[in-house]
Structure 1
Amino acid sequence: MKRPDVYLLHAYSSRNSGDGLLVKLSLRAIREAGFRQPITVVCLDPASFAGYLDDPQLELISLRRFVARTLAHAWRRRGPVFFGVGGGYLRAGTWKEGCKTLVAHGLQIVCASLWGPRARIYLPQSVGPFSTAPGRVLKWLVRRRVDTIFLRDDKSVRELDHRHAVRIGDLVVLEISKRPHAPQLAASDSLAHVARRKVYFVFRDLSGKPYADAYIAKLRRLVELTPDASLALQSAGRGNSDDVFYRRVFGVESAPALRDVIRSEDAIVLSVRLHGSLESVLGGLPSIHIAYERKGQAAYGDLGLSEYAFHAESFDPEAVAASIEKLRHDPAPFWQKLASLSVNRYTQLLKLIGDEINPSITLLIDGNFQKVGDQIFSPHMGHRKFAARFTESFARVRIAARSFPVPRAQGELVTGEGTQFIDLGSPRGAKAWIRHLPRLVWRTWRVIRNADLLLLRFPGNLSLLAMLLCRATGKPFSAEIVADPADYFSDAASRHPLRHVARRVHCWATRHAAKHGRTVRYVTTAALQAVYPPRTLARSFSFSDAYLPDELFDRRDDARVMHDADAGVFPIVNVAMMHNESKGHGILLRAVAALRERGLNVELTLIGDGVLRAELERLAARLGLADSVRFAGALNGDDVLRTVSQHALFVLPSLQEGMPRALLEAMAVGIPVIATHVGGIAEVLEPASLVPPADVDALSEKIAHNAADAQWRDQQKQRQREAVRRFRYSELQAQYRHYCEALKAYG
């Protein structure tokens, strides 16, 4: 895949050394995360960064040029990656501040969104307050138009309430925490008896604060208590200059730059500007911080230096002066506290950034997804059984599907680490599809447009729609074929009046997908391939997506089976959803009725649920099976296995299948299996365990034979268990890894 363009937004000016440092650290993090391509830096003061940044692959542009470039080229939707410089610029506590922020920074967020970005990642921020009308607009923009945002204090996390916010330290804090501090400790010991260290103050104007007059009075008192201290300049120019404040309040006409102090002197720094303090600590000078924003207290807390942070509104000049004197006498305790910080979260930041290099995969499928509140569940496609197969190879997995609200879900959560579910709505049935089609087309198109790699699962209505959109727009896709729609829409499996039309359409779609997919995976070894051959064998794969943990082959519970055998009962079990006739429930019920008429004491457990359950219960009653058939309903995965393992025989009378998971699971836990000869079932079962589909007499005879011959059942169990070992998780996952590499290469 083509490497995406990379932009770094919200760079301010290097005339403020703290902001310049943040730009440097932002670029370093992006590079260390693996981005090697040129980076475009959007600056409010591009000239200040000329010669300041040492990365040769940089383009510095102004905000005006970025807006012009967006208007000229964003329509191409080239999928760039946007980063926001770490900082504290996204705030709107007053109308004036909010309007300035919207013009300078909200505009950059809007422009980034117009490019159809692959990702928008904001490096560690403090955000808010959002108490004004412009603030609420800014909050809406950040929540809706920023994909991932790292936040450097807990209040920002609560106030923004972003869907993908990560609490982490300031960029400078992370840089400090990843460095060893033994050198500073050694230096402190060696200089313990040297002349008293110089002290530098880095103050700033807080005239917008309600406590501004008291703050200035406390600063003057602090200067009186430390008469040999000097002022240092951290920020100059563009309306954010410290030197103007120094002249007005202290009568000081000039002061050395803080960066020069850090470079050349062994001193103690007291800074009202957070990055004045952090820049000093990073340069090896202990620093006391007088915080006027929550980010300051949070940063010093993250470093384990809370006792060296005071609040600008309430600090006591005498207490601050005393702390300065302690550091002048012995800075070792400062470095000891910093050295005790054991958590280096910089690697976590790099991993999350680096994940954006790798393409994400979007799987667009039809499935039995149940929605409870904001959570999505599935009996068969829980995260560990399905999405986790892909998260080993892809940093981000997106599942796009319909979901259906239920009061109580069965199964497991579909989402997990690195997995997102995109809800396409809940239309079910022809009328609902027609009514919701425009919205469904729009949602599906958005999914397709934003997908790095697109994987469509056939047969299915959604995959059919998605494939048509892909073919119309030239979007490449890969395909998975899990069943034969010719069987699904056969006269025996479906009573729908449009089944013949649906059969033709879906058979065509599946053939077309096999021919035009960049890669094609089949859940069978040969059965589906014979009907829907791939364009090239080199890009086709043949393995199941069954979830059979290796330890599953050690499970077996003979307690109930032995008890029922002694009581003369032959317990059989079936696992299948009851959404349509294709699973053959009615055929199985009629076979059980025929066996009981012959005097065989068969008891059937049906695991599964769906719209046909009530109809099947009525059929069982009409056949006189009310006391012989137990409708267990939908069960969770472990409960399914536990229940299946308590029966003597697993029966699958389906009229259509690909490679049924429930059958493989039964074989793995050591339950003998009989099934119909459809799909890929004959690839795992011997002919002696197969019956023709929709044949009640053949099915009842096969069940009777199993009931009469325990030795034969035991032999079948052993052979079937050996046959299914190739579906163990470890073996299938090795094939998944190879498959995912092919998806990246060809998709």
Structure 2
Amino acid sequence: MCDLASPGSSSVRIGVPGSDGHGDTERGNMRVLRLCSVFETPPEALSGRGRAFDPVGGMQNHAARLSEELDRHGVVQTIVTTRPPGTPARQRFGRHGRVIRLGLPLPWARQGYALPAAALLPRLAENADLVHVHLGEDIAAAPLALLTARARRLPLVMTVHCSVRHTVSVHGPRSALLKVLGGRAEAAAASKAAAVIVLTERGARLTRVHGTDPARIHVIPSGVAEDEFADAAGCPDGLEEPPGSYVLYLGRLHHEKGVHTLIRAFSLLGDRDTRLVVAGDGPARAELRSLSARLGLSSRVRFLGFVPHARVPALLSGAALLALPSRYEELGTAAVEAMRVGVPVVATDTGGLPEVVENGVTGLLVPVDAERALADALARLLDDAPARIRMGRAARRRAAGYRWDRLAPRVLSVYDSVLSPAPAT
């Protein structure tokens, strides 16, 4: 275990950001208490019951890659999160950090982590300079972070990964409850946070409209770790699909991801020698398999199930294109990852996706739940190899702005700003 430095051991060293947003390379005395309901799961826990705990996803990757980059800058981090099955309760992280996992390793009891967290977080905050909370579709994280920061009089930084107020749509009792309770918690945290980080300009605009001081809002998107994607080529072992021969969906199998629409759209493509590869797992898996069978697509739609993130670069690089038919999406990390390996994206025109996928340049955008429009967009790119190549090259160029080694210094600059705020005028 890596213990935090004592509060009186030394003062926080503040880097002075340059024109590129970079400050000091080493922040050896900055101490961050990070709270996120999900975090990257160790490889040894990515099997069995652990797969039911959403071990891979955009927020998990964001929090982990950001923490890795900050660790390289010498930032001391204590990361508090939930505990998937098979994971250790406490674990070293990088050179300077540790992960503390709380709660029962049961998917239905995940929110129960809030009880031990409420008792532990104020004690951990005694050795922190700031609290950074990551908000997703979670009710507990924002109140826990607010109470902790207030108890120790620490600045609160909040990253909104999925805005319950602005992005989540209601499609059942759970999402309705989340919208009400989570939306209120998000609003309260945004009003008190020293800094609010959003992933898109859309998120910044909506946050301003609801009364947050624009000076406290920072747009810093999710990114990709360059070393993970630098050598991506071909297809992962065992896929048995020639490179460029399949359309890929990558993500959770859930109502809001729109995979039902994608499968129906795929059925409209006729007899093209193209497969749909569905990588991911979730509660809609059985229903989606049944839909594929009813549409006569059993031989053309392949369900890979859960895919560890280590296999994602090769899986993406072997695809003709990536399809993201989401009903709502804050950013769409899978789109950024596809663009990094030069694969164009067909996505829905919702949430922050239009800020990632430039229609007609790096991919194509279609309306939500529009299976015919989605089928037409897929056909257009599948039938036009020069357009796919042109968009893939443009996508790769655009993805250069989403590298974590360039984004993490911007987060450090936010930390600097809340630890030594500008004097009032």
SS in 2 for 1:469: helix
Contact 2:162 2:168 in 1 (8 A): no
- State the shift of 1:720 in Å: 1.8
Structure of greater Rg: 1
Distance 1:487 1:695 in 2: 22
Give the deviation of 1:529 after TM superposition: 0.9
Q: Is the 8 A contact 1:671 1:717 kept in 2?
A: yes
Distance, in Å, in 2 between the alignment partners of 1:505 and 1:540 is 23
Tell me the equivalent position of 2:262: 588
The CA deviation at 1:363 is 1.0
1:477-530 deviation digits (Å, cap 9, x = unpaired):
111112232566414xx43x1422321332333233233211111111x11111
C-alpha displacement of 1:400: 0.7
Whether 1:677 and 2:349 are equivalent positions in the alignment is yes
1:364 matched residue in structure 2? 35
Q: Normalized against structure 1, the TM-score is what?
A: 0.46
For residues 250 and 195 of structure 2, the distance between their equivalents in structure 1, rounded to whole angstroms, comes to 31
CA contact (8 A) 1:484 1:656 kept: no
CA distance in 1, matches of 2:299, 2:325: 21
Q: Which has the higher contact order (CA 8 A, sep 6+)?
A: 2
* In structure 1, C-alpha distance between the alignment counterparts of 2:176 and 2:55, rounded to whole Å: 30
Per the alignment, in what secondary structure is the counterpart of residue 485 of structure 1?
A: coil
Following the alignment from structure 2 to structure 1, what is the Cα–Cα distance between the partners of residues 83 and 350?
28
1:677–1:693 Cα contact (<8 Å) kept: yes
- Give the drift of 1:452: 3.2
Q: Paired residue for 1:546?
A: 223
Which residue of 458, 462, 476 maps to 2:135? 458
Q: Which moved more, 1:611-620 or 1:441-450?
A: 441-450
The secondary structure found in structure 1 opposite 2:140 is helix
1:647 pairs, out of 308, 311, 319, with: 319
SS of the residue corresponding to residue 266 of structure 2 reads: helix
- The 3 A distance-change label for structure 1 pair 557 and 500 is same
Q: Which residue of 2 aligns with 1:396?
A: 76
1:554–1:669 contact (8 Å) kept in structure 2: no
Deviates more, 1:371-380 or 1:462-471: 371-380
* Equivalent residue runs for 1:299-448 within 5 Å: 358-367=29-38, 369-370=40-41, 379=56, 380-381=60-61, 385-406=65-86, 415-426=93-104, 432=109, 438-448=115-125
| Residue 610 of structure 1, aligned match among 275, 282, 291 | 282
Residues 705 and 477 (structure 1), Cα distance of their counterparts in 2 relative to 1, 3 Å cut: same
Query: Which amino acid in structure 2 is aligned with residue 735 of structure 1?
Result: R
Q: 1:673 deviation in Å? A: 0.9
Alignment of 1:88-487 (within 5 A): 358-367=29-38, 369-370=40-41, 379=56, 380-381=60-61, 385-406=65-86, 415-426=93-104, 432=109, 438-448=115-125, 451-459=128-136, 460-470=138-148, 473=151, 476-486=155-165
The alpha-carbon distance between structure 1 residues 443 and 626, as it changes in their structure 2 partners (threshold 3 A), is: farther
Q: 2:188 aligns with which of 512, 517, 524?
A: 512
The match for 2:16 is none
CA displacement 1:271-322 (0-9 Å, x = unmatched): xxxxxxxxxxxxxxxxxxxxxxxxxxxxxxxxxxxxxxxxxxxxxxxxxxxx
Q: Which amino acid aligns with 1:519?
A: A
Alignment of 1:722 onto 2:397? yes
Are residues 394 and 745 of structure 1, via their aligned partners in 2, closer, same or farther at CA, if it must alter by over 3 Å? farther
Distance 1:649 1:374 in 2: 30
SS at match of 2:290: helix
Answer whether contact 1:550 1:730 (CA < 8 A) is retained. Answer: no
Residue identity in the other structure for 2:194: R
Change (3 A) 1:551 1:632: closer
- Structure 2: which 5+ runs fail to align? 13-26
- Counterpart contact for 1:368–1:403, Cα < 8 Å: no
- Give the TM-score normalised by the residue count of structure 2: 0.77
Measured after TM superposition, the shift of residue 665 of structure 1 is 1.0
CA contact (8 A) 1:675 1:691 kept: yes
1:523 and 2:203 correspond: no
Structure 2 distance, partners of 1:638, 1:428, is 24
Q: Which has the higher helix share?
A: 1
1:699 aligned residue = 374
Where structure 1 has 5 or more consecutive residues not aligned to the other structure, the ranges are 7-29, 37-353
TM superposition shift of 1:425: 1.0
Tell me the number of residue pairs that the alignment of Structure 1 and Structure 2 aligns: 384
**2:347 alignment partner, SS class:** strand
Residues 46-94 of structure 1: CA deviation (Å, up to 9, x unaligned): xxxxxxxxxxxxxxxxxxxxxxxxxxxxxxxxxxxxxxxxxxxxxxxxx
Q: CA deviation at 1:455?
A: 0.7
Conservation of the 8 A alpha-carbon contact between 1:360 and 1:394: no
CA distance in 1, matches of 2:73, 2:416: 8
Matched to 1:463, the amino acid is A
The 5 A counterparts of 1:496-511 are 497-511=173-187
Which letter does structure 2 place at the counterpart of 1:573?
L
Q: What is the distance in 2 between the residues matched to 1:704 and 1:636?
A: 29
Which AA in structure 2 matches 1:517? A
* 1:669 Cα deviation from its structure 2 partner: 0.5
- Structure 1 residues 487 and 446, CA gap change in structure 2 (3 angstroms): same
The residue aligned with 1:101 is none
Q: Percent identity?
A: 23
Residues 382 and 415 of structure 1 are in contact (CA less than 8 Å); yes or no, is this contact kept in structure 2? Answer: no
Aligned counterparts of 1:626 and 1:743: Cα–Cα separation in 2: 54
Structure 1 residue 611, shift from structure 2 partner: 3.9
Does the Cα contact within 8 Å between 2:132 and 2:159 map onto a contact in 1?
yes
TM-superposed CA distance for 1:472, in Å, is 6.7
Alpha-carbon distance change, 627 to 531 in structure 1, aligned in 2, over 3 angstroms: same
Structure 1 residues 577 and 685, CA, compared in 2 at 3 Å: closer, same or farther? same
